[in-house]
Amino acid sequence: MTLEGCVLLKVLLHIQNDSFLILVIDLSGRYNMHFLNLLSVFKKALILTGILIIALSFAGCGSGNSPGDTPDDFKGSLVLNISPNLDQHRTIAPDLEMSVASYVITGTGPNSDNFSVSITTGSATLNSLTPGAWAISVNALNSSGTVIASGDTTVTIETDQTSNASITVRPIDGNGTLTLSLSWPLDAVTDPSITATLTPQDGTATDITFSMADNTASYSNSSLPDGYYTLIVNILDGSDTVWTMVEAVRIITEQTTSGSYNLTADDFIVAQGTLDLQIDQDLQNPLIIFFSGNYSILALGTEMTVEALASNSVDGYQWYLNGAAIPDAIQSSLTIGNGLTAGKYSLSVIAVCGSTLSSKSFLFTVSDISLNPIPEHYPYSLYFSDTDMSENEVSGHAVMVKALNEDDITGYRFYWGSSATEKLSGQPAVATFAADNQDKTYEFPENTEIPAGASYLLAYSYNSNGECLSPVVFPVKDRILEKVDNIDSGVFSQTLEHVCIYNNKLFFSASDGNLGSELWSFDETNGPSLVFDIYAGSSSSPNYLTEFGGKLYFSANDGVAGNELWVYDGNNDIHRVADINAGTANSDPKYLTVLNDRLYFSATDSTVGEELRAYDGSSDPVLVSDIYPGTGWSRPTDLIAFDNSLYFVASTTSGTTLYYYNQSSIQTVSSLTYPGPRLLITLNNVLYFDGDSFSGYELHSFRPPNTVTQLTDIYAGSNDSNIKNIAVFQDNLYFSARDSSTNQELWVYEVGTGARNIANINSSGNSDPSYLTVYEGRLYFTANDGTHGTELWAYDGVHPPEIVHDIINVSGGSNPTTLIVYNNKLYFKAGDGTAYSMYTYREK
């Protein structure tokens, strides 16, 4: 079509290097087929004005009439897809929320025309804009109303043309404040002084000066340009460096970044008087970096290889010793020790992740003491997994890998620890072993009570001189598995389907053995409660529970109108929304999905069959489109909201493929030339799915407007990798899959890297990981290792997956299902060999 006064854009907003990057895509090619004759007739008669549509995804020009006299077909649209992700958790940053809660969009046009729109839901439509030049500005606000980003551009709305515009939105340029304070014991430093530098990323180091007073020092600068910096601070006693610190710092415009360091004598890297060798400091430890291979004690002339590990990809590293950059030490690992004299040292690393910096440090001592000072004489590693699910009790195996060199070792001892370096006072050794060149295993008896104050398990080697100076450590996590009280197991005698959290309660479909499968609710105070017996004397079988507009929607069968769409308001009102398939026939609403102010689902009637429907919360549900015209059924599945459109899979005579509905019309993803996509899921503005591109079903991605990419070939050739149960964990995709050498096991697709098998949990069959659910920083799932049957497992992203608990201690598994996180606990259904019940799991 020819558009009069129309701006048609797609603006994709992405944050990179502390900036918002916007990709503008002309979508007018999708709408070039209507109203040619209409324009030829009325072109001279109409007085045209422009229209500016601001939204979070596609909004078309030909979707009916808006308020006013000018048809939508002669108006323009500007579509902003805003996906802010202001990362601030990897460094020292001011106390400012950097998540966008709303946007204020203003415009000034010809004849001083102007508008101002505030949006929270992500879309706004502005009608009757005068053709001509418009200046558009956008301010991004956090939940406190503070402007945290802004941008502007100009766009010309011209009659009978399509205009294009782009906006780059960045955090507000300007200066921020950095304040630092230090204190130390008066007797710790005789002649104190401080040297410090502040280096902007991609900049040059600048010396900064602290104000000194007795045993304190402070620094403040209110005119630092916003951005990331590397901060290095050294405390000197005379000419000797006695304390050093390397940190990543973020400065934000008109905000204050503060750091306070209250030091003790143990923090200094030159010993004062006696040398305390039990040190394991971790200064301002960022969450995403941890060390492997580091020791707190080194013997003179020995070395250690320290590796910095991160949960996400890292662009580069720089290592520092006592605050000084180590030349060419820019890899993730560093070998250090040879050539160091006796004393205390601080080893630090700065990791670069895009535009952010992250830091981590630890202290170690080089010693000439002969009491097992060589790391090869220490226990190599320690691991413990609690198998007692009662609170404040443990059982299970503690496994210690022996020292690399046992020539000077008599044996090993296990202790409870109050910290990672200190034994729990008053507690004897838990176990003692002789050194015999074998790894050691200690089995805690059942119902072993955890002593008050114990948080760690420590393992020491010893000889005739005593115990080694530094233990290997493993934190003790008290695992607590509980059957939910006050629940009749009959409520869970049937499979729980489509569990949903609504009004701070769990809602689910279940049967108590008397009423059939009906809608139930549960909270931790009152236990389970029947919401309503919808189908008296039988089962209404509620399914696809979904919250929409403050109410709970689901499909159910009351025995009168068949399986239809129902609603519950959270109080006393529960009723059928509509009889879509009139009479006793079923419409079978499925895949209930919310997009903006509509509830979308698949349903059947006697006229068009199973097609896509929409419901606005008040009027009757409507047919969106008869995708398979006539009596054919398109059977929409896998509905998902993405890019402000509804994506789904449907079938016609041409086959099964991926569709999207932009709230104006239904289109196919034209670059998708192969059939049968499934398992749609989104991650970081990309739509992922399992699809068959004639090399078997494998993982694919779709980036609007029209880019489909095959990402993996896990099972090489034309074989299916059989991807199932996809979930997002640590910004990667986890799923079960198979290849030519393993059966159905746990896999990960690391974005930008590729796919890999996490573990072969069942070496003789399928472990079949299912119900993948993220809880407290770990990925939980069910799996069968071939020994315990199907049980609950967990994976932390670093160590191998482990079974949480064997609920049934006989042949066969408890078959956990329906994992869901509710009130900071992991809830699931499982059987103990007698009946199915609801369980909760937590760690402390």
pLDDT of residue 41: 29
Once rounded to an integer, what is the mean pLDDT over residues 259-288?
53
Same topology for domains 175-367 and 389-477, yes or no? yes
**pLDDT (average), residues 461-470:** 80
The token pair that represents 694 in the structure block = 């004639």
Site of tokens 């580069």: 316
Question: Using CA atoms, how far apart are residues 565 and 587, in angstroms rounded to an integer?
Answer: 8
With beta carbons less than 8 A apart as the criterion, state whether 235 and 192 touch.
yes
CB 388 within 8 A of CB 394: yes
108-115 average pLDDT score:
86
**Length reported for the chain:** 844
Q: Does domain 175-367 have CATH number 3.30.920.30?
A: no
pLDDT reported for residue 608: 92
Say yes or no to pLDDT of 803 above 50: yes
Rounded CA separation 547/821 (Å): 16
Taking alpha carbons only, the member of 736, 82, 822, 792 closest to residue 502 is 822
Q: Is the pLDDT of residue 83 over 60?
A: no
Three-class DSSP labels, 608-634: CEEEEEEECCCCCCEEEECCCCCCCCC
Q: What is the rounded CA–CA span in Å between residue 654 and residue 635?
A: 14
In 10 A of CB 791, how many CB atoms? 21
What pLDDT score was predicted for residue 56? 31
Q: Where are the domains of the chain?
A: 6-171, 175-367, 389-477
Instruction: Say if residue 367's pLDDT is above 50.
Output: yes
Query: 462 pLDDT band (50/70/90 cuts)?
Result: confident
Pick from 114-128, 683-697, 805-819: least confident = 114-128
| Residues 6+ away with beta carbon under 8 Å from 183 | 215, 216, 217, 261, 262, 263
Distance in angstroms (rounded) separating the CA atoms of residues 420 and 382: 12
Contact, 10 vs 71, CB < 8 A? no
Q: Quick one: what percent of the chain has pLDDT higher than 90? A: 37
Burial track 94-106 (b if 16+ CB lie within 10 A, e otherwise): bebebebeebbbe
CA 138 to chain centre: 28
Tens digits of residue pLDDT in 536-563: 989 999 999 999 999 999 999 999 999 9
* Greatest mean pLDDT among 315-324, 345-354, 807-816: 315-324
Instruction: Choose the weakest-confidence range: 204-208, 278-282, 549-553, 821-825.
Output: 278-282
* Contacting residues for 654 by C-beta, under 8 A, at least 6 apart: none
What is the model's pLDDT at position 510?
84
| Confidence check: pLDDT of 4 > 50 | no
- The answer to whether residue 9 scores a pLDDT higher than 70 is no
State how far the Cα of 278 lies from the Cα of 169, in Å rounded to an integer: 50
Query: Whole-number mean pLDDT of the chain?
Result: 79
Beta bridge pairs of residue 798: none
pLDDT tens digit string along 140-189? 777 677 887 788 888 887 766 655 666 666 777 789 899 999 998 888 88
List the end-to-end C-alpha distance of the chain, in Å, as a whole number.
63
Quote the pLDDT of residue 563. 95
User: Going by DSSP bridges, is the β-strand pair 10-16/80-82 parallel, antiparallel, or unpaired?
Assistant: parallel
Higher pLDDT, 92 or 417: 417
Q: Which residue has the tokens 């940053």?
A: 93
Strands (DSSP E) contained in 724-844 are 724-729, 732-737, 745-750, 754-759, 770-775, 778-784, 790-795, 802-805, 817-822, 825-831, 836-843
Judged against a pLDDT cut of 70, whether residue 12 lies above it is answered with: no
Predicted confidence at residue 776, as pLDDT, reads 87
Which CATH class for the 389-477 domain? mainly beta
Indicate the helix (H) or strand (E) that contains 462.
strand 456-463
> Shortest CA distance to 289 belongs to which of 351, 197, 225, 370?
351
Residue pair 552/567 in contact by the 8 Å Cβ criterion: yes
What's the whole-number mean pLDDT along residues 584-611?
A: 95
How far apart are alpha carbons 638 and 129 in whole angstroms? Answer: 39
What is the CA 753 to chain-centroid distance, rounded? 18
pLDDT recorded at residue 491: 54
Instruction: Give the span between the Cα atoms of 732 and 626, in whole angstroms.
Output: 36
What is the CB neighbour count within 10 angstroms for residue 79? 24
Q: Please choose, from the candidates 725, 646, 739, 729, the residue with its C-alpha nearest in 3D space to the C-alpha of residue 690.
A: 725
DSSP string covering 25-70, please?
E--GGG--SS-HHHHHHHTTT----EEEEE-SS---S-S-BPSSSS
Q: What is the per-residue pLDDT for 55?
A: 34
Q: Which of 161-165, 320-324, 472-476 has the lowest mean pLDDT?
A: 161-165
DSSP 88: -
Task: Give the pLDDT confidence score for residue 738 in this predicted structure.
Answer: 94
User: What is the pLDDT averaged over residues 185-194?
Assistant: 88
Residue written as token pair 């999708």: 30
Neighbouring residues of 426: CB distance < 8 A, sequence distance ≥ 6: none
- Running DSSP on this structure, what letter comes out for residue 492? B
Residue 514: Cβ within 10 Å count: 10
Query: Among 154, 172, 174, 173, which residue's Cα sits nearest to residue 164?
Result: 154
Using CA atoms of 743, 749, 754, 757 in order, give the dihedral in degrees to the nearest 10. Answer: -30
Average pLDDT over residues 724-752: 93
Which carries the bigger pLDDT value, residue 33 or residue 52?
Answer: 52
Q: How confident is the model at residue 497 (pLDDT cuts 50, 70, 90)?
A: low
Calpha distance 763→402 (Å, rounded):
27
